[in-house]
Homo-oligomer: A and B are copies of this chain.
């Protein structure tokens, strides 16, 4: 399961779509960092059908894709996985976005907690780096680049905390 596969599964789960519609999603929304080129999406969809995670259904011109129970299970397993340090922020955020209307709200809350903790750890490790030997030998520019990392990590912490607040104050809105 590649990142793109998860993205496609998640989008199709939300609503059956054609390959073309999925491409448009990548093009027109800020979510999903993937190119909308057909060279990636159509082959991936085919593979997902072969693997039994999606079902193709002719509809007007073109095919719509539906998620199968097995596909749902794959997504659920992914959602339930503890958020590791390894997955980059982009991957983590995609996972978060695909949780969208998931009935189990707790998954989202858990995700945000873990994300906030990871970001806090990242902040701490960058601060620790700034106390090390290497830091002293670095040029002004290189140091500023590290400061950039610090700022974005801090922004992640703030966002996650804020998102938790918003979700907790809001009733089950879906």
Interface residues in chain A, defined as those with a beta carbon under 8 Å from any beta carbon in chain B: 14, 28-31, 93-94, 96-97, 99-102, 108, 126, 129, 134, 138-142, 144-149, 151-152, 154-156, 158-159, 163, 166-167, 170, 173-174
Inter-chain contact A29/B134, CB cutoff 8 Å? yes
Inter-chain contact B159/A148, CB cutoff 8 Å? yes
Known: A134-B29, A144-B163, A152-B152. A139 touches B96 (CB 8 A): no
Cβ of A148: which chain B residues have Cβ within 8 Å of it? 93, 96, 156, 159, 163
Inter-chain contact A147/B163, CB cutoff 8 Å? yes
* Cα separation A63 to B134 with both chains bound (whole Å): 23
State the majority secondary structure of interface residues on A.
Answer: helix
Kindly identify which residue among B96, B155, B158 contacts A144, using a CB–CB cutoff of 8 Å.
Answer: B96
Known: A101-B139, A140-B167. A31 touches B145 (CB 8 A): yes
Smallest Cβ-Cβ distance to A172: which chain B residue: B140
Shortest beta-carbon distance from A168 to chain B in Å: 12
Cβ of A166: which chain B residues have Cβ within 8 Å of it? 140, 144
* Cα separation A134 to B159 with both chains bound (whole Å): 22
Cβ of A99: which chain B residues have Cβ within 8 Å of it? 141
Inter-chain contact B140/A170, CB cutoff 8 Å? yes
Shortest beta-carbon distance from A162 to chain B in Å: 8
Known: A29-B134, A30-B146. A152 touches B141 (CB 8 A): no
